[in-house]
Amino acid sequence: MDPLFLLRPWESPEVTSWGRLPMSAVDRRAGSLSLDGEWRFQLLPSPDAELGGAWSSQTLPGAWTLQNTDDLPVYLNVRMPFPDVPPSVPAANPTGVYERVVDVPADWTGKRITLQVGAAESVLLVHVDGRPVGISKDSHLAADFDITAFARPGERILVRLTVVKWSDASHIEDQDHWWHAGITRSVLLHATDPLHLADVDVRASADGALRVDCEVRNADGELPEGWYVTGELNGALLTQDAELDRFNEEDGRVSAFLGEVRLNHQVADVRPWTAETPALYDLAVRLHRADGSVADVSRHRVGFRDVAIVGRDLLVNGERVFLRGVNRHDFHPLTGRTVSYEDMRADLVLLKRFNFNAVRTSHYPNDPAFYDLADELGVYVVDEANVESHDHAHEIADDPRYLNAFVDRVSRMVLRDKNHPSVIVWSLGNESDYGANHDAAAGWVRRHDPTRPVQYEGAAKLDWAAASDASDIACPMYASLDEVVAHALSGKQTKPLIWCEYSHAMGNSNGTLADHWAAIESTPGLQGGFIWEFWDHGILQRVNDGRPAGRGGAGLYESGVAGPGHRWAYGGDFGEPDHDGAFIADGVVFPDRTPKPVMFEHREIAAPVRIALDGDGNLVVSNHQHFRGLDWLTAEWRLALADGTDLVAGAGLPELAPGDSGVVPVPFALPQDGGEAWLTLRVSTAEDLPWAPAGTEVCVPQVRLRGPSAAGEPVAKGRVDIDDDGLLVHPLLTSPPVLSLWRAPTDNDELGGIASRWRAWGLDQLVREVVSVQRDGGTVIVDAEYAGATGVVRHRQILTPVEGGIHVDESAQVPEAFHDVARVGTVFETVAGLDLLEWFGQGPWESYPDRAAGAPVGHHAQPVDRLFTPYLRPQESGGRHGVRRFTLSAPDATGLAVTLDGPRQVSVTRHRADDLTAAAHHDELVPRAGCVVHVDAAHRGLGTASCGPDTFPSYLVATGCHHWSWTLRVL
């Protein structure tokens, strides 16, 4: 029997590998032979099934769950997709067999030949010409195998890669993501000299000190005489450390099979690496034979930086830095976990443009190219091991059968990624309880790499102040802001507090983000956190047959919306009976990487340049960076007046050191009249950067220079037309203005249990009954009651004809029974053809009461069809906060104008709340010809209650009397 199958690795947690080479930081991608592309393929029902029948083909890298098989993606968050308890797996266990004939280059004679499989989910078995080579587990790290004995240069070999979908390892890869299967990263063939660099360990400090430790091995046996190692950094030669050689001799550690060399160098006037200033140096390490010829080379890009924890502060190069982070899965809407270099670069470029500076690789190590890009572009990385046992966390944390797997996965991650300056923290994994297996892994990391802290939420959550657990950082998950601030002020804090997850970005979400950062920046001991998460994981799906669109689906999506005949699939859309629905759609970008409105909120919260007015009315500009001045930026001032005036003036930013502020003159003389006046500083890049061309907007900080003028009382002129129910009749309205307390529930409303209360109260089916209709000259006073299941809202409308239109004064008495409603306001619908919204208020993007810091006040215009935000599950969206007035117009400039009594929440879309509530996907929505307009006196905040705290009490809609007024005129 095949010895690999005899081991039955899919049900043996003690078997983590067989025949697999040790992990190292030596990068073999350059000069390798790519085996990516078409492989012949059979999908078997289990690993014990016999091959038979016709072969199909699969493109590697890629998951077979997205390539025309009957084994489709499944989404579950916590629960496993099968009932078996660890380490057991189901007998029905899809097994993919890949084969490809490979021509071994003739010039590889005498070389050591290795095969690398970048990632396989979840167990990989390797054969060459029918002979067993090795086994590997860990779906997110590469497996290398020495196939020199099987590969004859100049001849052909048959490579077979067998991938078993379910294994004991699946129980520790339960990571709130689509379950896929296949080979999801590149397959490569390498050739090196038998005498080779086995590992290179680079330590580069912010003071310019460089230490390079090299391990040398010979695949043919003992090391030959006379070999040596040299190093070169940006053209400067490194020196060999003779002290290490003496230490080895005295300690008896000299081995005939392992050579160790230490190289040193001191860089004068070093340029330290930070996320703001990602300076890199080119290092080449060369292994020489006795005659001086080069046997092997390892190249690295070195960043000189220090990471330390001092007291309760995490320091980079001695500075306390804020981590403005996001969690990121490997994801693409067409290829699943297979992500190209170009895609990874686009991810990080987008994050940099929106002022994120950190990524947590949730919940596994990323492709090696990701770290190269983070080094180059400047991103702090919390590198997380591929360990999550969510469904069976308590059992596995102390299970000795899984001890090797924990240590293996954590240690291999560290060995591969240790030379990247971007990696500043090691994470032991996610949501796996806490046990001896974590302590063992933490002990290995701390011994091998004392230059970086270790974190693990499961250890730290037991006691944020504990000093002896497996986490050097208190990294809570969705802890409330009150809790973390109280901890920081308690006097008991012993370590930095940085949320590993907070502000859950599911649907229309991320309320109170600005409040969180106001507290973080003003509370010593708090240093930031990582939003959950970067992506909405919608898979592009063909609506006609319910299958993934696959690689041929490119170009079928744009600006967040799937194209005709397609939609973004989430849990349950592939026919799986057990799933967790749209909980997979919880990112700050849509599946096509279109930014959601929260990205603009974050951009301003994390702005490197900010403005404010001091107590004397002086204009103050501040540099909120940690390491650099403002010379890389340019800016212009903009003044927006309530009367419609917009002024622009050039601006030279002052020279400010990191953290400094300076007073600058107000660039405009305010006119005596004109009402409200808002001053905005538009900051952009002054020159081309690796992540942004010159002119890219970086932030738009704003201050109010003058408040609104008092409005006069409306003067009645003419008559108001109403129907028998006391409802306004108007030629531009197809549905009259009525009271609204309901919104299409957001994901936070639904999963937080808020929407169920609203339905129980009957807010989605209020029954209006007229109490009285009175006329006082041209004014009409309408009193009505809106009855729900448990309470009644008393509503009064006073309709007064004014010059050119109608003034509507409204009040609503919300009873205690309705102590937390979605909104209190007016809804009406317009005739068709009014396709352009122009407004004075916050914008241009969507904003809500607790997510409005990123929407500056000004004059904005958008086509109505672009106001709606297409969250994957239709819900309340498209609102604009702080609107003072707006117009809806047709192409011929006719339409209506609405003036409000103060800043109000307004939305204008093509969808009623009931339309959105009834739809599961956007392809089910039919836009209405006219506009559905909401004008709210009060609107509930968004919060993040789908996973995390709800909005704050200050953003809830209070009971009692609400009063608002607005004037409708014809353009």
Q: What is the pLDDT of residues 833-845, one digit of tens each?
A: 999 999 999 999 9
Q: Give the active site residue among 121, 384, 431, 533.
A: 431
pLDDT at 250: 54
CA angle 862, 735, 767 (to 5 degrees): 120
**pLDDT, average across residues 122-140:** 97
> Catalytic annotation on 501?
yes
pLDDT at 73: 97
249 φ, ψ (degrees, to nearest 5): -65, -45
**pLDDT, average across residues 594-601:** 98
**pLDDT, average across residues 874-903:** 97
**pLDDT, average across residues 750-772:** 97
**Can you tell me the distance from the alpha carbon of 182 to that of 411, in angstroms, rounded to the nearest whole number?**
24
pLDDT at 957: 98
Q: Which residues pair with 34 in a beta bridge?
A: 188
Burial grade of 486 (CB within 10 A; 0-12, 13-18, 19 or more): exposed
pLDDT at 247: 46
pLDDT at 1: 67
**Can you tell me the distance from the alpha carbon of 242 to that of 219, in angstroms, rounded to the nearest whole number?**
26
**Can you tell me the distance from the alpha carbon of 531 to that of 327, in angstroms, rounded to the nearest whole number?**
6
366, pLDDT greater than 60: yes
pLDDT at 696: 98
Q: Evaluate the CA torsion angle 54, 55, 57, 60 in order and state its sign.
A: positive
Q: What share of the chain is helix, strand, coil (3-state, %, to 5)?
A: 15, 40, 45
Listed range (343-352, 557-566, 851-860) with the worst mean pLDDT: 557-566
Q: Give the active site residue among 121, 173, 215, 501.
A: 501
**pLDDT, average across residues 359-368:** 97
> Catalytic annotation on 924?
no
963, pLDDT greater than 50: yes
Average pLDDT, the chain: 95
Strands 123-128 and 131-137: antiparallel
Which residue's entry shows tokens 């890199």? 280
- Percent of the chain whose pLDDT exceeds 90: 90
796, pLDDT greater than 50: yes
| Closest listed residue to residue 298, CA positions, set 238, 381, 352 | 238
**pLDDT, average across residues 350-358:** 98
67, pLDDT greater than 80: yes
Q: Return left, alpha or beta for 762; rule: phi > 0 is left, psi -120 to 50 is alpha, else beta.
A: left
**pLDDT, average across residues 405-417:** 98
pLDDT at 253: 53
**pLDDT, average across residues 624-637:** 97
pLDDT at 246: 45
| Closest listed residue to residue 387, CA positions, set 430, 441, 423 | 430
523, pLDDT greater than 70: yes
**pLDDT, average across residues 602-629:** 96
Helix axis angle, 368-377 to 403-417, nearest 10°: 40
Q: Are 849 and 939 in contact (CB under 8 A)?
A: yes
| Closest listed residue to residue 66, CA positions, set 736, 692, 537, 595 | 537
**Can you tell me the distance from the alpha carbon of 697 to that of 595, in angstroms, rounded to the nearest whole number?**
14
336, pLDDT greater than 80: yes
pLDDT at 777: 87
Confidence of residue 439 (pLDDT cuts 50, 70, 90): very high
Q: What does the pLDDT look like over 213-269, one tens digit per residue?
A: 999 999 999 999 999 999 999 999 999 986 555 445 555 455 788 999 999 999 999
Q: Are 139 and 173 in contact (CB under 8 A)?
A: yes
pLDDT at 245: 55
**pLDDT, average across residues 11-26:** 95
350, pLDDT greater than 80: yes
Q: Which residues pair with 135 in a beta bridge?
A: 18, 125
